A and B are shown apart, each in its own frame.
Chain A
Amino acid sequence: MFYNNAKIDVFVMVIFSLLYFTVNIIFPYYVSGIIIILVSNVILILFSILYHILRSTK
Protein backbone atom coordinates (compact mmCIF):
# COMPACT_ATOMS: atom_id res chain seq x y z
CA MET A 1 0.00 0.00 0.00
CA PHE A 2 2.97 2.36 0.48
CA TYR A 3 4.99 1.62 -2.56
CA ASN A 4 3.59 3.62 -5.47
CA ASN A 5 2.93 7.05 -3.96
CA ALA A 6 6.32 8.58 -4.66
CA LYS A 7 6.57 8.29 -8.46
CA ILE A 8 4.84 11.59 -9.33
CA ASP A 9 6.89 13.50 -6.72
CA VAL A 10 10.12 12.03 -8.11
CA PHE A 11 9.08 13.09 -11.61
CA VAL A 12 8.25 16.65 -10.52
CA MET A 13 11.51 16.84 -8.53
CA VAL A 14 13.47 15.94 -11.68
CA ILE A 15 11.62 18.69 -13.62
CA PHE A 16 12.43 21.25 -10.90
CA SER A 17 16.06 20.08 -10.86
CA LEU A 18 16.34 20.69 -14.61
CA LEU A 19 14.81 24.15 -14.17
CA TYR A 20 17.29 24.87 -11.37
CA PHE A 21 20.21 23.93 -13.63
CA THR A 22 18.79 26.09 -16.42
CA VAL A 23 18.53 29.09 -14.13
CA ASN A 24 21.93 28.69 -12.50
CA ILE A 25 24.05 27.44 -15.39
CA ILE A 26 22.56 29.01 -18.52
CA PHE A 27 21.30 32.37 -17.14
CA PRO A 28 24.74 33.58 -15.91
CA TYR A 29 25.98 33.49 -19.53
CA TYR A 30 23.41 36.09 -20.55
CA VAL A 31 22.98 38.33 -17.49
CA SER A 32 25.63 40.11 -15.46
CA GLY A 33 23.45 41.21 -12.50
CA ILE A 34 22.86 38.69 -9.76
CA ILE A 35 19.37 40.00 -8.93
CA ILE A 36 17.74 38.33 -12.00
CA ILE A 37 19.22 34.94 -11.07
CA LEU A 38 18.27 35.47 -7.43
CA VAL A 39 14.67 36.36 -8.32
CA SER A 40 14.46 33.40 -10.76
CA ASN A 41 15.56 31.03 -8.00
CA VAL A 42 13.03 32.47 -5.56
CA ILE A 43 10.25 32.14 -8.20
CA LEU A 44 11.28 28.51 -8.71
CA ILE A 45 11.03 27.91 -4.96
CA LEU A 46 7.60 29.61 -4.89
CA PHE A 47 6.39 27.32 -7.69
CA SER A 48 7.62 24.27 -5.78
CA ILE A 49 5.73 25.50 -2.70
CA LEU A 50 2.62 25.90 -4.87
CA TYR A 51 3.06 22.33 -6.10
CA HIS A 52 3.30 21.04 -2.53
CA ILE A 53 0.19 23.02 -1.53
CA LEU A 54 -1.81 21.61 -4.45
CA ARG A 55 -0.54 18.08 -3.76
CA SER A 56 -1.39 18.26 -0.05
CA THR A 57 -4.96 19.43 -0.67
CA LYS A 58 -5.65 16.53 -3.06
Chain B
Amino acid sequence: MIYTLLFYATLIVAVTLYSKFRFKSNFFHAGHDIGPLVLLLTLFATNMTAISIIGAPDRSFSGGFNVFITLGCATALIVPFLFKILGTQVCEQSKAVGFVTQPELVFLKTNSPLCRYLFMALCLCFLIPYIIVGLKGGGEIASVFFKEYGLIVDSKITTALVALLIYVYVVIGGIRGTSLINSVQAFIFIFGSIYIMSFLINKNGGLTETIEQIVVKKPDVFKIESQPSLLEVVSFYVITFSVGAFPHIFNHWCTAKSAKTFNSTVILYPVCVVLLWISCVCIGIVANLELTEQPQSPVIIALISVIDQEWVSGVIAISILAAIMSSLDSQLISVGAIVSKNMTRLSLSHEWILLIFLIACYLISIFSDQSIFQLGIWSLIGFSSLTPLLYVCLTQEKVESKLMVMALVSLLFAWALLLFLDQGVASAIVLFVLSLTFSGWMKFKNSAKLKQGSEVYT
Protein backbone atom coordinates (compact mmCIF):
# COMPACT_ATOMS: atom_id res chain seq x y z
CA MET B 1 0.00 0.00 0.00
CA ILE B 2 2.80 2.40 0.84
CA TYR B 3 4.04 2.28 -2.79
CA THR B 4 0.58 3.21 -4.07
CA LEU B 5 0.41 6.14 -1.65
CA LEU B 6 3.89 7.25 -2.71
CA PHE B 7 2.85 6.98 -6.36
CA TYR B 8 -0.20 9.15 -5.62
CA ALA B 9 1.89 11.80 -3.82
CA THR B 10 4.47 11.83 -6.66
CA LEU B 11 1.69 12.22 -9.23
CA ILE B 12 0.28 15.24 -7.39
CA VAL B 13 3.72 16.86 -7.09
CA ALA B 14 4.45 16.20 -10.79
CA VAL B 15 1.14 17.69 -11.97
CA THR B 16 1.59 20.73 -9.67
CA LEU B 17 5.10 21.41 -11.02
CA TYR B 18 3.97 20.84 -14.61
CA SER B 19 1.17 23.36 -14.15
CA LYS B 20 3.50 25.85 -12.43
CA PHE B 21 6.23 25.84 -15.08
CA ARG B 22 4.18 25.06 -18.21
CA PHE B 23 1.50 27.74 -17.79
CA LYS B 24 1.75 31.31 -16.59
CA SER B 25 -1.82 32.21 -15.82
CA ASN B 26 -3.99 34.03 -13.31
CA PHE B 27 -4.27 32.40 -9.85
CA PHE B 28 -8.08 32.62 -9.70
CA HIS B 29 -9.36 32.31 -13.29
CA ALA B 30 -6.48 30.60 -15.19
CA GLY B 31 -6.86 33.01 -18.13
CA HIS B 32 -10.38 31.62 -18.86
CA ASP B 33 -8.97 28.84 -21.04
CA ILE B 34 -9.75 25.53 -19.34
CA GLY B 35 -10.83 23.00 -22.00
CA PRO B 36 -13.78 20.56 -22.03
CA LEU B 37 -12.06 17.42 -20.64
CA VAL B 38 -10.40 19.17 -17.69
CA LEU B 39 -13.62 21.12 -17.01
CA LEU B 40 -15.70 17.93 -16.93
CA LEU B 41 -13.29 16.06 -14.66
CA THR B 42 -12.59 18.97 -12.32
CA LEU B 43 -16.31 19.75 -11.87
CA PHE B 44 -17.00 16.06 -11.30
CA ALA B 45 -14.14 15.65 -8.81
CA THR B 46 -15.09 18.85 -6.96
CA ASN B 47 -18.71 17.75 -6.62
CA MET B 48 -18.02 14.17 -5.58
CA THR B 49 -17.05 14.26 -1.94
CA ALA B 50 -16.45 11.38 0.44
CA ILE B 51 -20.25 10.86 0.48
CA SER B 52 -20.08 8.88 -2.76
CA ILE B 53 -17.02 6.70 -2.13
CA ILE B 54 -17.38 6.19 1.65
CA GLY B 55 -21.05 6.96 2.36
CA ALA B 56 -22.61 5.07 -0.58
CA PRO B 57 -21.02 1.63 0.20
CA ASP B 58 -21.92 2.16 3.87
CA ARG B 59 -25.59 2.83 3.15
CA SER B 60 -25.91 0.19 0.41
CA PHE B 61 -24.45 -2.50 2.72
CA SER B 62 -27.83 -2.66 4.46
CA GLY B 63 -30.12 -0.62 2.18
CA GLY B 64 -29.15 -1.91 -1.28
CA PHE B 65 -29.83 0.41 -4.21
CA ASN B 66 -31.97 2.91 -2.23
CA VAL B 67 -29.08 5.33 -1.72
CA PHE B 68 -28.34 5.43 -5.46
CA ILE B 69 -31.97 6.29 -6.23
CA THR B 70 -32.36 9.06 -3.61
CA LEU B 71 -28.95 10.74 -4.01
CA GLY B 72 -27.12 9.45 -7.10
CA CYS B 73 -29.98 9.73 -9.59
CA ALA B 74 -31.02 13.21 -8.40
CA THR B 75 -27.41 14.39 -8.85
CA ALA B 76 -27.08 12.83 -12.31
CA LEU B 77 -30.35 14.40 -13.43
CA ILE B 78 -30.22 17.92 -12.01
CA VAL B 79 -26.55 18.94 -11.86
CA PRO B 80 -26.00 18.96 -15.69
CA PHE B 81 -29.01 21.29 -16.02
CA LEU B 82 -27.46 23.62 -13.42
CA PHE B 83 -24.19 23.59 -15.39
CA LYS B 84 -26.11 24.45 -18.55
CA ILE B 85 -28.43 27.10 -17.05
CA LEU B 86 -26.02 28.80 -14.64
CA GLY B 87 -22.52 27.64 -15.63
CA THR B 88 -22.61 28.82 -19.25
CA GLN B 89 -23.94 32.24 -18.20
CA VAL B 90 -21.34 32.58 -15.42
CA CYS B 91 -18.57 31.69 -17.90
CA GLU B 92 -19.67 34.19 -20.57
CA GLN B 93 -20.37 37.03 -18.14
CA SER B 94 -17.16 36.38 -16.21
CA LYS B 95 -15.14 36.65 -19.42
CA ALA B 96 -16.95 39.85 -20.41
CA VAL B 97 -16.93 41.60 -17.05
CA GLY B 98 -14.12 39.95 -15.09
CA PHE B 99 -15.72 38.66 -11.87
CA VAL B 100 -14.63 35.33 -10.36
CA THR B 101 -16.75 35.22 -7.21
CA GLN B 102 -20.48 35.36 -6.47
CA PRO B 103 -20.39 38.52 -4.27
CA GLU B 104 -18.75 40.38 -7.19
CA LEU B 105 -21.62 39.30 -9.46
CA VAL B 106 -24.20 40.40 -6.89
CA PHE B 107 -22.46 43.78 -6.55
CA LEU B 108 -22.38 44.15 -10.34
CA LYS B 109 -26.14 43.59 -10.65
CA THR B 110 -27.33 45.44 -7.52
CA ASN B 111 -24.63 48.12 -7.32
CA SER B 112 -24.87 47.79 -3.54
CA PRO B 113 -21.82 47.14 -1.31
CA LEU B 114 -24.22 45.94 1.41
CA CYS B 115 -25.55 43.18 -0.88
CA ARG B 116 -21.97 42.24 -1.75
CA TYR B 117 -20.86 41.89 1.87
CA LEU B 118 -24.08 40.14 2.93
CA PHE B 119 -23.68 37.60 0.13
CA MET B 120 -20.01 37.16 1.04
CA ALA B 121 -20.95 36.59 4.70
CA LEU B 122 -23.55 33.99 3.69
CA CYS B 123 -21.12 32.20 1.36
CA LEU B 124 -18.44 32.00 4.08
CA CYS B 125 -21.01 31.06 6.75
CA PHE B 126 -22.12 28.07 4.66
CA LEU B 127 -18.69 27.17 3.27
CA ILE B 128 -16.62 27.14 6.48
CA PRO B 129 -18.52 24.28 8.17
CA TYR B 130 -18.34 22.36 4.89
CA ILE B 131 -14.54 22.72 4.79
CA ILE B 132 -14.18 21.83 8.48
CA VAL B 133 -16.30 18.71 7.98
CA GLY B 134 -14.21 17.70 4.96
CA LEU B 135 -10.94 18.29 6.78
CA LYS B 136 -12.01 16.48 9.94
CA GLY B 137 -13.54 13.62 7.95
CA GLY B 138 -10.41 13.29 5.78
CA GLY B 139 -8.12 13.22 8.83
CA GLU B 140 -10.27 10.69 10.69
CA ILE B 141 -10.58 8.41 7.67
CA ALA B 142 -6.79 8.49 7.16
CA SER B 143 -6.32 7.68 10.86
CA VAL B 144 -8.78 4.74 10.70
CA PHE B 145 -7.00 3.62 7.57
CA PHE B 146 -3.63 3.44 9.32
CA LYS B 147 -5.33 1.63 12.22
CA GLU B 148 -6.37 -1.18 9.84
CA TYR B 149 -2.63 -1.69 9.32
CA GLY B 150 -1.88 -1.71 13.04
CA LEU B 151 -0.38 1.80 12.98
CA ILE B 152 -1.75 4.21 15.61
CA VAL B 153 -1.61 7.70 14.13
CA ASP B 154 -3.65 10.42 15.87
CA SER B 155 -6.33 12.01 13.67
CA LYS B 156 -4.88 15.46 14.56
CA ILE B 157 -1.68 14.49 12.72
CA THR B 158 -3.44 12.97 9.71
CA THR B 159 -5.74 16.02 9.45
CA ALA B 160 -2.67 18.29 9.52
CA LEU B 161 -0.99 16.19 6.80
CA VAL B 162 -4.05 16.37 4.53
CA ALA B 163 -4.32 20.16 5.10
CA LEU B 164 -0.60 20.71 4.45
CA LEU B 165 -0.59 18.73 1.20
CA ILE B 166 -3.64 20.60 -0.10
CA TYR B 167 -2.20 24.00 0.90
CA VAL B 168 1.09 23.32 -0.89
CA TYR B 169 -0.39 22.31 -4.22
CA VAL B 170 -3.12 24.96 -4.17
CA VAL B 171 -0.63 27.78 -3.52
CA ILE B 172 1.87 26.54 -6.10
CA GLY B 173 -0.57 25.59 -8.86
CA GLY B 174 -3.42 28.09 -8.42
CA ILE B 175 -6.79 27.26 -9.98
CA ARG B 176 -5.18 25.72 -13.07
CA GLY B 177 -2.98 23.37 -11.05
CA THR B 178 -5.96 22.50 -8.86
CA SER B 179 -8.09 21.76 -11.96
CA LEU B 180 -5.41 19.49 -13.42
CA ILE B 181 -4.94 17.65 -10.12
CA ASN B 182 -8.71 17.31 -9.73
CA SER B 183 -8.84 15.73 -13.19
CA VAL B 184 -6.20 13.17 -12.15
CA GLN B 185 -8.10 12.56 -8.89
CA ALA B 186 -11.38 12.05 -10.80
CA PHE B 187 -9.67 9.39 -12.95
CA ILE B 188 -8.29 7.73 -9.83
CA PHE B 189 -11.56 7.44 -7.92
CA ILE B 190 -13.76 6.53 -10.93
CA PHE B 191 -11.46 3.74 -12.13
CA GLY B 192 -10.45 2.87 -8.54
CA SER B 193 -14.07 2.17 -7.55
CA ILE B 194 -14.74 0.23 -10.77
CA TYR B 195 -11.60 -1.84 -10.11
CA ILE B 196 -12.57 -2.57 -6.48
CA MET B 197 -16.09 -3.60 -7.60
CA SER B 198 -14.79 -5.95 -10.33
CA PHE B 199 -12.18 -7.39 -7.93
CA LEU B 200 -14.89 -8.26 -5.40
CA ILE B 201 -17.15 -9.76 -8.09
CA ASN B 202 -14.30 -11.88 -9.53
CA LYS B 203 -13.29 -12.98 -6.04
CA ASN B 204 -16.78 -14.42 -5.57
CA GLY B 205 -16.75 -16.35 -8.86
CA GLY B 206 -18.12 -13.87 -11.41
CA LEU B 207 -21.29 -11.78 -11.74
CA THR B 208 -23.93 -14.54 -11.85
CA GLU B 209 -22.47 -16.46 -8.93
CA THR B 210 -22.06 -13.26 -6.86
CA ILE B 211 -25.74 -12.30 -7.43
CA GLU B 212 -26.85 -15.83 -6.48
CA GLN B 213 -24.79 -15.73 -3.29
CA ILE B 214 -26.11 -12.28 -2.36
CA VAL B 215 -29.73 -13.35 -2.91
CA VAL B 216 -29.16 -16.37 -0.64
CA LYS B 217 -27.36 -14.39 2.08
CA LYS B 218 -29.45 -11.21 1.88
CA PRO B 219 -32.82 -11.95 0.23
CA ASP B 220 -34.16 -8.39 0.69
CA VAL B 221 -31.37 -6.70 -1.24
CA PHE B 222 -33.41 -6.30 -4.46
CA LYS B 223 -36.60 -5.24 -2.67
CA ILE B 224 -37.52 -1.76 -1.51
CA GLU B 225 -36.39 -1.82 2.10
CA SER B 226 -38.36 1.19 3.27
CA GLN B 227 -40.40 3.40 1.01
CA PRO B 228 -38.98 6.94 1.10
CA SER B 229 -41.54 9.54 2.14
CA LEU B 230 -42.62 12.38 -0.15
CA LEU B 231 -40.87 14.89 2.15
CA GLU B 232 -37.62 12.89 2.09
CA VAL B 233 -37.52 12.60 -1.71
CA VAL B 234 -38.33 16.29 -2.25
CA SER B 235 -35.85 17.46 0.44
CA PHE B 236 -32.92 15.51 -1.00
CA TYR B 237 -33.91 16.67 -4.47
CA VAL B 238 -33.91 20.33 -3.36
CA ILE B 239 -30.55 19.87 -1.63
CA THR B 240 -29.09 18.84 -5.02
CA PHE B 241 -29.65 22.47 -6.11
CA SER B 242 -26.88 23.52 -3.70
CA VAL B 243 -24.41 22.74 -6.53
CA GLY B 244 -25.68 25.85 -8.33
CA ALA B 245 -24.49 28.11 -5.50
CA PHE B 246 -21.24 26.44 -4.42
CA PRO B 247 -18.50 29.12 -4.55
CA HIS B 248 -15.92 26.49 -5.63
CA ILE B 249 -18.08 25.34 -8.56
CA PHE B 250 -18.71 28.99 -9.50
CA ASN B 251 -14.94 29.56 -9.50
CA HIS B 252 -14.43 26.60 -11.87
CA TRP B 253 -17.21 27.87 -14.19
CA CYS B 254 -15.30 31.14 -14.52
CA THR B 255 -12.19 29.29 -15.75
CA ALA B 256 -13.94 27.66 -18.76
CA LYS B 257 -12.89 28.69 -22.25
CA SER B 258 -16.43 29.45 -23.47
CA ALA B 259 -20.07 28.42 -23.07
CA LYS B 260 -19.52 25.74 -25.73
CA THR B 261 -16.91 24.09 -23.45
CA PHE B 262 -19.83 23.05 -21.24
CA ASN B 263 -21.48 20.93 -23.96
CA SER B 264 -19.42 17.80 -23.36
CA THR B 265 -19.55 18.38 -19.58
CA VAL B 266 -23.36 18.36 -19.42
CA ILE B 267 -23.51 15.25 -21.62
CA LEU B 268 -20.80 13.19 -19.88
CA TYR B 269 -21.32 14.33 -16.27
CA PRO B 270 -24.33 12.01 -15.66
CA VAL B 271 -22.38 9.12 -17.22
CA CYS B 272 -19.54 9.69 -14.73
CA VAL B 273 -22.01 9.95 -11.82
CA VAL B 274 -23.76 6.70 -12.78
CA LEU B 275 -20.41 4.88 -13.24
CA LEU B 276 -19.10 6.01 -9.84
CA TRP B 277 -22.32 5.54 -7.87
CA ILE B 278 -23.22 2.16 -9.36
CA SER B 279 -19.73 0.81 -8.61
CA CYS B 280 -19.73 2.28 -5.06
CA VAL B 281 -23.21 0.89 -4.33
CA CYS B 282 -22.18 -2.53 -5.74
CA ILE B 283 -19.08 -2.49 -3.49
CA GLY B 284 -21.41 -2.03 -0.50
CA ILE B 285 -23.79 -4.79 -1.61
CA VAL B 286 -21.04 -7.34 -2.44
CA ALA B 287 -19.31 -6.49 0.87
CA ASN B 288 -22.13 -8.49 2.50
CA LEU B 289 -20.31 -11.61 1.29
CA GLU B 290 -17.06 -10.48 2.94
CA LEU B 291 -18.31 -9.03 6.24
CA THR B 292 -20.76 -10.74 8.56
CA GLU B 293 -22.26 -7.54 10.01
CA GLN B 294 -22.07 -3.74 9.50
CA PRO B 295 -18.57 -2.79 10.73
CA GLN B 296 -17.87 0.15 13.05
CA SER B 297 -15.45 1.72 10.58
CA PRO B 298 -16.72 2.54 7.05
CA VAL B 299 -17.42 -0.58 4.94
CA ILE B 300 -14.87 0.28 2.24
CA ILE B 301 -12.11 0.63 4.87
CA ALA B 302 -13.18 -2.51 6.73
CA LEU B 303 -12.75 -4.40 3.45
CA ILE B 304 -8.99 -3.77 3.56
CA SER B 305 -8.38 -6.17 6.44
CA VAL B 306 -10.73 -8.79 4.96
CA ILE B 307 -9.38 -8.70 1.40
CA ASP B 308 -5.74 -8.76 2.54
CA GLN B 309 -4.33 -7.72 -0.83
CA GLU B 310 -1.68 -4.97 -0.84
CA TRP B 311 -2.53 -3.64 -4.31
CA VAL B 312 -6.31 -3.47 -3.73
CA SER B 313 -5.73 -1.78 -0.33
CA GLY B 314 -3.59 0.80 -2.09
CA VAL B 315 -6.30 1.46 -4.68
CA ILE B 316 -8.89 1.89 -1.90
CA ALA B 317 -6.55 4.30 -0.05
CA ILE B 318 -5.82 6.58 -3.00
CA SER B 319 -9.44 6.54 -4.21
CA ILE B 320 -10.65 7.76 -0.79
CA LEU B 321 -7.90 10.38 -0.51
CA ALA B 322 -8.56 11.61 -4.07
CA ALA B 323 -12.31 11.99 -3.39
CA ILE B 324 -11.71 13.95 -0.17
CA MET B 325 -8.89 16.17 -1.42
CA SER B 326 -10.48 17.05 -4.76
CA SER B 327 -13.30 18.91 -3.01
CA LEU B 328 -11.22 20.50 -0.26
CA ASP B 329 -8.68 22.11 -2.60
CA SER B 330 -11.33 23.85 -4.71
CA GLN B 331 -13.19 25.01 -1.61
CA LEU B 332 -9.98 26.46 -0.20
CA ILE B 333 -9.13 28.34 -3.38
CA SER B 334 -12.68 29.75 -3.59
CA VAL B 335 -12.38 31.13 -0.04
CA GLY B 336 -9.13 32.83 -1.07
CA ALA B 337 -10.90 34.33 -4.09
CA ILE B 338 -13.93 35.51 -2.09
CA VAL B 339 -11.82 37.24 0.57
CA SER B 340 -9.16 38.79 -1.65
CA LYS B 341 -11.54 39.95 -4.42
CA ASN B 342 -14.19 41.41 -2.15
CA MET B 343 -12.21 42.76 0.78
CA THR B 344 -9.97 44.91 -1.38
CA ARG B 345 -8.71 46.96 1.57
CA LEU B 346 -7.11 43.84 3.01
CA SER B 347 -3.41 44.04 2.13
CA LEU B 348 -2.68 40.34 2.69
CA SER B 349 -1.63 38.21 -0.29
CA HIS B 350 -3.79 35.20 -1.23
CA GLU B 351 -1.09 32.80 0.11
CA TRP B 352 -1.45 34.35 3.59
CA ILE B 353 -5.24 34.45 3.40
CA LEU B 354 -5.32 30.73 2.52
CA LEU B 355 -2.81 29.85 5.26
CA ILE B 356 -4.64 31.78 7.99
CA PHE B 357 -7.96 30.34 6.89
CA LEU B 358 -6.66 26.77 6.74
CA ILE B 359 -5.04 27.03 10.18
CA ALA B 360 -8.32 28.38 11.62
CA CYS B 361 -10.30 25.53 10.02
CA TYR B 362 -7.74 22.98 11.26
CA LEU B 363 -7.94 24.29 14.84
CA ILE B 364 -11.75 24.24 14.81
CA SER B 365 -11.75 20.73 13.33
CA ILE B 366 -9.45 19.25 15.98
CA PHE B 367 -11.22 20.92 18.91
CA SER B 368 -14.76 20.15 17.72
CA ASP B 369 -16.61 16.93 18.49
CA GLN B 370 -18.56 14.60 16.15
CA SER B 371 -21.61 16.92 16.18
CA ILE B 372 -19.78 19.18 13.69
CA PHE B 373 -20.61 16.60 10.99
CA GLN B 374 -24.30 17.55 11.29
CA LEU B 375 -23.37 21.05 10.09
CA GLY B 376 -22.35 19.59 6.70
CA ILE B 377 -25.97 19.01 5.66
CA TRP B 378 -26.88 22.52 6.89
CA SER B 379 -24.24 23.99 4.59
CA LEU B 380 -25.89 22.21 1.65
CA ILE B 381 -29.34 23.41 2.76
CA GLY B 382 -28.01 26.99 2.91
CA PHE B 383 -26.38 26.84 -0.50
CA SER B 384 -29.47 25.35 -2.16
CA SER B 385 -31.45 28.41 -1.05
CA LEU B 386 -28.96 30.77 -2.75
CA THR B 387 -29.30 29.15 -6.20
CA PRO B 388 -32.56 30.93 -7.26
CA LEU B 389 -31.08 34.31 -6.24
CA LEU B 390 -27.98 33.65 -8.35
CA TYR B 391 -30.18 32.67 -11.28
CA VAL B 392 -31.94 36.05 -11.05
CA CYS B 393 -28.60 37.88 -10.87
CA LEU B 394 -27.39 36.05 -13.97
CA THR B 395 -30.51 36.48 -16.07
CA GLN B 396 -31.38 40.11 -15.21
CA GLU B 397 -29.42 43.16 -16.25
CA LYS B 398 -30.12 44.91 -12.94
CA VAL B 399 -31.52 43.65 -9.65
CA GLU B 400 -33.17 45.85 -7.03
CA SER B 401 -30.78 46.09 -4.10
CA LYS B 402 -33.46 46.56 -1.39
CA LEU B 403 -35.16 43.31 -2.41
CA MET B 404 -31.84 41.49 -2.50
CA VAL B 405 -30.96 42.71 1.02
CA MET B 406 -34.40 41.61 2.25
CA ALA B 407 -33.95 38.20 0.61
CA LEU B 408 -30.47 37.63 2.04
CA VAL B 409 -31.36 38.78 5.57
CA SER B 410 -34.55 36.66 5.57
CA LEU B 411 -32.66 33.60 4.36
CA LEU B 412 -29.94 34.04 6.97
CA PHE B 413 -32.48 34.37 9.80
CA ALA B 414 -34.61 31.49 8.54
CA TRP B 415 -31.54 29.26 8.15
CA ALA B 416 -30.27 30.09 11.66
CA LEU B 417 -33.73 29.58 13.17
CA LEU B 418 -34.29 26.22 11.47
CA LEU B 419 -30.78 25.12 12.49
CA PHE B 420 -31.44 26.19 16.09
CA LEU B 421 -34.77 24.34 16.13
CA ASP B 422 -33.07 21.35 14.45
CA GLN B 423 -35.81 20.86 11.86
CA GLY B 424 -33.87 18.38 9.69
CA VAL B 425 -33.52 18.11 5.90
CA ALA B 426 -37.11 19.28 5.27
CA SER B 427 -35.82 22.81 6.09
CA ALA B 428 -34.28 22.79 2.61
CA ILE B 429 -37.80 22.99 1.10
CA VAL B 430 -38.80 25.96 3.33
CA LEU B 431 -35.65 27.95 2.49
CA PHE B 432 -35.84 27.08 -1.21
CA VAL B 433 -39.49 28.25 -1.43
CA LEU B 434 -38.58 31.46 0.43
CA SER B 435 -35.73 32.09 -2.00
CA LEU B 436 -37.95 31.30 -5.03
CA THR B 437 -40.53 33.82 -3.74
CA PHE B 438 -37.96 36.59 -3.48
CA SER B 439 -36.48 35.67 -6.88
CA GLY B 440 -39.93 35.78 -8.49
CA TRP B 441 -40.58 39.14 -6.84
CA MET B 442 -37.30 40.54 -8.19
CA LYS B 443 -38.09 39.31 -11.72
CA PHE B 444 -41.64 40.69 -11.52
CA LYS B 445 -40.34 44.12 -10.40
CA ASN B 446 -37.85 44.14 -13.27
CA SER B 447 -40.42 43.23 -15.90
CA ALA B 448 -42.80 45.88 -14.49
CA LYS B 449 -40.01 48.46 -14.75
CA LEU B 450 -39.20 47.38 -18.32
CA LYS B 451 -42.88 47.57 -19.30
CA GLN B 452 -43.15 51.04 -17.75
CA GLY B 453 -40.02 52.12 -19.64
CA SER B 454 -41.29 50.85 -22.99
CA GLU B 455 -44.70 52.56 -22.47
CA VAL B 456 -42.93 55.88 -21.79
CA TYR B 457 -40.78 55.34 -24.88
CA THR B 458 -43.78 54.61 -27.17
Contacts and interface: CB of A to CB of B under 8 A. Distances in A.
Contacts of A21: 233-234, 237
A48 B270 contact: yes
B93 A45 contact: no
Contact of A49 (B66, B85, B270): B270
Interface string B51-81: 0000000000000111011100110111011
B263 interface: yes
B277 to A, nearest CB: 11
B224 A28 contact: yes
A37 to B, nearest CB: 6
A52 B88 CA distance: 13
A9 B88 CA distance: 12
Contact of A48 (B77, B92, B263, B397): B77
Interface string B223-255: 110011010011001000000000000000000
B267 interface: yes
Given A9-B85, A25-B233, A20 B77 contact: yes
Contact of A52 (B78, B84, B395): B84
A45 to B, nearest CB: 5
Interface in A1-30: 2-6, 9-10, 12-13, 16-17, 20-21, 24-25, 28-29
A56 B266 contact: yes
B80 A38 contact: no
Interface in B85-141: 85-86, 88-89, 92-93
B9 interface: no
B4 to A, nearest CB: 32
B224 A49 contact: no
B396 interface: yes
Interface string B26-49: 000000000000000000000000
A49 B84 CA distance: 12
B69 A56 contact: no
Contacts, number: 100
A28 B397 CA distance: 44
Given A28-B224, A34-B223, A38-B65, A17 B237 contact: yes
Contact of A20 (B65, B74, B263, B396): B74
A22 B296 CA distance: 36
- Which of B77, B92, B234, B270 neighbours the largest number of chain A CB atoms within 10 Å of its CB? B77
B271 interface: yes
B222 A33 contact: yes
A7 to B, nearest CB: 8
B109 to A, nearest CB: 11
Given A32-B224, A49-B271, A16 B77 contact: yes
A44 B224 CA distance: 19
Contact of B77 (A3, A9, A32, A45): A45
A49 B80 CA distance: 9
A48 B80 contact: yes
A44 B75 CA distance: 12
A37 B85 contact: no
A56 B266 CA distance: 9
B81 A13 contact: yes
Contacts of B222: 33-35
B65 A6 contact: no
A5 B88 contact: yes
B274 interface: yes
A14 B397 CA distance: 24
Contact of A10 (B70, B85, B230): B85
B270 A34 contact: no
Contacts of A6: 84-86, 89, 391, 394-395
A25 B332 CA distance: 38
A13 to B, nearest CB: 4
A3 B397 contact: yes
Contacts of B84: 6, 9, 52, 55
Interface of A: 2-6, 9-10, 12-13, 16-17, 20-21, 24-25, 28-29, 31-35, 37-38, 41-42, 44-45, 48-49, 52-53, 55-56
4 closest cross-chain pairs (CB), A and B:
A56-B263, A13-B81, A41-B73, A6-B85
Given A20-B237, A21-B233, A28-B228, 6 more contacts: A38-B68, A38-B69, A42-B73, A52-B263, A52-B267, A55-B84
